Amino acid sequence: MALDPRDAYIAPGHDEAPAPPRPKRKIGDKMPDGTVYAGISPDTNKPMYAPPADAPFTCTFNEARLYAAATPAHGHHDWRVPTKGELNVLFNNRAAIGGFNETGSYPAGWYWSSSPTSPQRAVGECFRDGRQYDTSHKGNLSSVRLVR
């Protein structure tokens, strides 16, 4: 008996069709672990997730890095401070992700990236207007939203 090409092929030994594809994630979707899908990292081209809230304090550049390394949030231990490109993705998706300080007031409305520009300076971003500054002194205080 000839097979009809319109029939679904089921490999020998398998008596069920393959699982349907998973639905596509939307920015702002809450994940089962409590994190939020934040978009695609422009640096790794992989999905990026964020906690639903900022760190509970403002901090210096080095304190932000230490906080990321010591934070076992939502069952994960691989949190980090976002790169300047990833931080801009967070800014562009801030309404869907939620919980950001968008006042632009210093220091809470400013966010650290992990991207240094010199031994004393790093990129920060104002979440009122999305301007990135590569002149932020690492000793200044800013907010931080981690990613993984």
What are the extents of the domains in the chain?
57-137
Contact 100, 89 (CB under 8 A): no
47-50 vs 121-126, strand pairing mode: unpaired
Q: What is the pLDDT of residue 22?
A: 67
Q: What is the pLDDT of residue 3?
A: 46
Per-residue tens of pLDDT for the chain, all 148 residues: 454 444 444 555 555 666 666 668 999 999 999 999 999 999 999 999 999 999 999 999 999 999 999 999 999 999 999 999 999 999 999 999 999 999 999 999 999 999 999 999 999 999 999 999 988 899 999 999 999 9
Summary count for the chain: helices (H), strands (E): 3, 5
Q: What is the pLDDT of residue 7?
A: 46
Q: What is the pLDDT of residue 11?
A: 52
Q: What is the pLDDT of residue 19?
A: 65
Q: What is the pLDDT of residue 15?
A: 58
Contact 81, 71 (CB under 8 A): no
Contact 132, 84 (CB under 8 A): yes
